[in-house]
Amino acid sequence: MAKKIKRSGGKFTRSHSSAIPAAEELLDLLQKITEVKKISLGVIKAGKPSGGKRFLKIKERRGGFLITVRGNNSIQEIGVYTKRAGEVIELLKDKAFKYAVEVVDSDRIQT
């Protein structure tokens, strides 16, 4: 399994502190955005090799949004809590140039 990066303190919750390498730059960016109030790292799941392609899938939900990060061999969901989800998502779309970014229509999401 790929090397994991530990994150804790500040905006990060305590449930999980490991992040996949593909999420490292994204987490650095999220931590700097003042509108982001909390970041919750989800469980890391093994996936099929992606051939070096990384992507973000963003789903808006109540209280913020959920990002699915796909790295070379692993997948991780990251919960982002903010009152200004639309603004933060737009900023991510502009700044996340190393990822293929897909924003899923929030009407298709059941909460």
- Quote the pLDDT of residue 108: 45
Phi then psi for residue 92, to 5 deg, are -60, -40
Whether pTM exceeds 0.95: no
Instruction: Tell me what pLDDT residue 66 has.
Output: 94
What lies within 8 Å, CB to CB, of 4 at 6+ separation is: 18, 19, 20, 21, 44
Rounded (10°) angle between helices 85-95 and 24-32: 130
Q: In angstroms, how far is the first alpha carbon of the chain from the final one?
A: 32
Q: Which residues, in sequence order, are CB contacts of 12 under 8 Å at separation 6+?
A: 31, 38, 39, 40, 41
Q: Characterize the bridge pairing of strands 55-61 and 100-104.
A: parallel
At 64, is the secondary structure helix, strand, or coil? strand
pLDDT of the chain, 111 residues: tens digit per residue: 455 666 666 677 666 678 888 888 889 999 999 999 999 999 889 877 767 677 888 999 999 999 999 888 899 999 999 999 999 998 888 876 666 667 776 544 443
State the Cα–Cα distance between residues 97 and 81, nearest whole angstrom: 22
Q: Where are the domains of the chain?
A: 19-104
